[in-house]
């Protein structure tokens, strides 16, 4: 099949690629579904010559409108889904961008290895999408986001030029500006705007010998957040510390109160956990999850919250409503005050409190609001902006995980200085001078 025959302008195909989970719908002019890097190059060369915009896409689970477009070609990388090599001794895997993280980890399990980043959506997320968003998840508390786990990339630039970038592996390097020293980092988190990832060499970690999950039911939010800070401040080193507020806990487990969930891969005696919890007023009904099946169940209830809120948001679309999800983060010690301030802003606007849940150990909760119509959407966005201004005033970020995409572009200048924005634009102009890649994302 020639590359051009993989380009479709059929309405049903274009519509099939017109939505991610942001609630936005944007129908592209055409959809290209390359099966190889060579086909990506052909598509980009042709698009560049004709000045046609191209937006790369993986599984389109973006929450920010990053993987949809109504300008030019939607370039779906899903068909490039081969695991090319697993080097057990070097702990590296070479994969095409359309491989799903869940499939990759199932293949790696047989070799006692793990690709550490774990977005909640990992069974549906492509490697290309995870790299382009610098995705992270619960266990990023211990292992970090996707960035440190990307060793090398093959990238096709907007003009169709293929480049290969790999980490230097140097401990020390004073050659030139820091941001230019590791070009891999230009593309991790670039949301499709700087190049199309056609191959990734990923760094792997050994599968932990054992993982124990612990769920600490708490009477209220204050107790739960106090426990989160106590755990982070202790000598314990869990790989995740997740929080569920009463709304989220009702969705996840149809229970009242709040909950803190941790996973420990360090074989710390359970007594140490129990003692810490008890000294913070959490002593009864602590649940322990051991073994893969039990841990899977625990992760399922975690996944239920965003999945349910996405469904509730989608149901409001006919009236102009949708889910509004924040992914701000603050230094973990100021999380309780920040959540309290965020709740006050919601109350002051006369809105229903959102579900608040997620990566509390990183000072990174999600607030999930459901806007029932366009008017409520506007009021929620006003509260979100006020919350983000507060978050920034105490050293936080407007986006810790899901990226900027199209929906959060308006928040970026609140955080990035004019000089930072000029440098970002300069890099974009250098790599994509005609602004053809993923227009509308980030800048």
Ligand X SMILES: Cc1cc2nc3c(=O)[nH]c(=O)nc-3n(C[C@H](O)[C@H](O)[C@H](O)COP(=O)(O)OP(=O)(O)OC[C@H]3O[C@@H](n4cnc5c(N)ncnc54)[C@H](O)[C@@H]3O)c2cc1C
Nearer to ligand X among residue 242 and residue 376 (C-beta)? 242
Q: How far is the CB of 21 from ligand X (least distance, A)?
A: 4
CA 29 to CA 72: how far, in whole Å?
A: 5
Minimum distance from residue 291 beta carbon to ligand X (Å): 23
Residue 272 C-beta: closest distance to ligand X, Å: 28
Minimum CB–partner distance for residue 204 and ligand X (Å): 18
Count CB atoms within 10 A of the CB of residue 9.
11
| Closest CA relative to residue 27, chosen from 66, 76, 75, 74 | 74
Tokens of 388: 């983000």
Min CB(158)–ligand X separation in Å: 11
Q: How far is the CB of 307 from ligand X (least distance, A)?
A: 5
The minimum distance between CB 312 and ligand X, in angstroms, equals 12
CB 192 within 8 A of CB 66: yes
- In the complex with ligand X, which residue's Cβ is closer, 204 or 240? 240
d(CA 134, CA 120): 14
Q: Which is nearer to ligand X, 48 or 67 (CB)?
A: 67
Q: How many residues does the chain have?
A: 443
Nearest 10 degrees: Cα torsion 426, 427, 428, 433:
70
Q: Which residue lies nearer to ligand X by CB, 312 or 379?
A: 312
Max Cα-Cα span within the chain: 66
**Residue with the shortest CB distance to ligand X:** 129
Nearest CB to ligand X, comparing residues 303 and 343:
303
Query: Would you say 136 or 316 has its CB closer to ligand X?
Result: 136
Cβ proximity to ligand X, 139 vs 372, nearer residue: 139
Nearest to 118 by CA among 211, 191, 27: 211
Indicate the residue among 8 and 268 with the shorter CB distance to ligand X: 8
- Please report how close the Cβ of residue 5 comes to ligand X at its closest, in angstroms: 21
Q: In the bound complex, what is the minimum distance in angstroms from residue 276's beta carbon to ligand X?
A: 26
- Between 133 and 391, CB nearer to ligand X: 133
Q: Whose CA is closest to 97, among 83, 114, 86?
A: 83
- Interface with ligand X by CB under 6 A: which residues? 20-21, 55-63, 66-67, 77, 97, 119-121, 125-126, 128-130, 132-133, 135-137, 191-192, 196-197, 306-307, 310, 401-402, 438, 441
């Amino acid at each position: 099949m020639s590359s051009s025959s993989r380009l479709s302008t059929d309405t049903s195909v274009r519509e099939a690629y017109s939505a991610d989970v942001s609630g936005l719908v944007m129908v592209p002019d055409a959809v290209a579904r390359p099966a190889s890097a060579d086909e990506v190059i052909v598509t980009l060369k042709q698009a560049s010559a004709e000045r046609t915009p191209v937006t790369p896409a993986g599984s389109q689970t973006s929450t920010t409108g990053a993987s949809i477009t109504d300008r030019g070609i939607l370039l779906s990388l899903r068909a490039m889904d081969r695991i090319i090599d697993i080097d057990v001794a070097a702990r590296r895997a070479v994969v095409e961008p359309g491989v799903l993280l869940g499939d990759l980890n199932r293949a790696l399990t047989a070799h006692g290895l793990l690709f550490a980043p774990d977005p909640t959506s990992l069974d549906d997320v492509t490697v290309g999408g995870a790299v382009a968003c610098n995705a992270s998840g619960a266990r990023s508390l211990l292992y970090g986001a996707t960035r440190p786990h990307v060793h090398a990339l093959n990238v096709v630039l907007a003009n169709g030029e293929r480049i290969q970038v790999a980490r230097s592996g140097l401990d020390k390097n004073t050659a030139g500006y820091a941001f230019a020293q590791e070009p891999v980092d230009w593309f991790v988190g670039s949301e499709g705007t700087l190049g199309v990832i056609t191959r990734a060499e990923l760094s792997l970690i050994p599968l932990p010998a054992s993982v124990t999950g612990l769920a600490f039911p708490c009477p209220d939010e204050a107790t739960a957040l106090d426990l989160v800070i106590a755990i982070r401040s202790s000598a314990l080193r869990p790989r995740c510390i997740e929080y569920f507020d009463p709304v989220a806990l009702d969705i996840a487990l149809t229970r009242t109160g709040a909950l803190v969930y941790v996973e420990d891969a360090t074989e710390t005696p359970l007594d140490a956990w129990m003692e810490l919890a008890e000294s913070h007023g959490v002593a009864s009904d602590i649940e322990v999850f051991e073994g893969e099946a039990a841990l899977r169940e625990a992760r399922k209830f975690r996944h239920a919250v965003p999945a349910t809120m996405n469904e509730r948001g989608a149901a409001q679309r006919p009236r102009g409503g949708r889910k509004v999800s924040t992914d701000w983060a603050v230094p973990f010690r100021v999380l309780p005050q920040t959540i309290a301030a965020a709740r006050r802003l919601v109350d002051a606007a006369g809105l229903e409190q959102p579900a608040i849940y997620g990566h509390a150990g990183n000072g990174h909760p999600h607030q999930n609001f459901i806007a029932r119509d366009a008017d409520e959407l506007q009021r929620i966005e006003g509260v979100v902006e006020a919350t983000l201004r507060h978050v920034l005033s105490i050293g936080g970020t407007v986006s810790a995980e899901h990226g900027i995409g199209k929906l959060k572009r308006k928040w970026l200048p609140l955080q990035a200085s004019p000089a930072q924005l000029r440098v970002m634009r300069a890099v974009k102009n250098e790599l994509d001078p005609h602004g053809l890649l993923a227009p509308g994302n980030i800048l």
